[in-house]
Amino acid sequence: MKMSYRWFLFQCQPRFPGGFYLKNYFCKMREVAFIIGGIILLGACSKNTSADKDTELPVITISTPSNNQLFNNGQSINITGSITDNTYIAEVHIHVSNTNTGALLMDVHLYPGSNSTTFNQSLTAISGINYKIQIIAKDRAVNEARSSVEASCN
């Protein structure tokens, strides 16, 4: 039998003399339980999470290379640093591009799953290329922070 609010009301109608008051009490309790259950179910569907209230950007610190650092041909460019967030870092992107041509030379995606992380990537410097190293970090609330440095190779 399909249960509905009407079914509860139908079951609570007095059927014999003398049993009305006791039956009415239990029926009212069922009605209250039915209403409370509905409220609980509606409350469980709420989309309010701590991520909805988060408006703080992640904090990116690029340790190396320093801005406008000059490298020799064949030298390793180490890209290191750290990222922190007040709640949770959802993803990190490390982009290295050639500023002369706009070509993307490195595209690394990391998914740390915590409120702090470090990164450590490297590439070999090639003569005549100017590099833009950009770090992008997003948290669960999609607050996005960006930090970049430039480097070149003679």
The pTM is what? 0.67
How much is the pLDDT for 85? 97
pLDDT digits (tens, 9 = 90+) for 139-150: 999 999 999 999
Name the stretches of the chain with pLDDT < 70: 1-29, 34, 37-38, 41-52
Q: Which residue shows structure tokens 């408006």? A: 55
pLDDT digits (tens, 9 = 90+) for 80-107: 999 999 999 999 999 999 999 999 999 9
Separation CA 151–CA 77 (nearest Å): 9
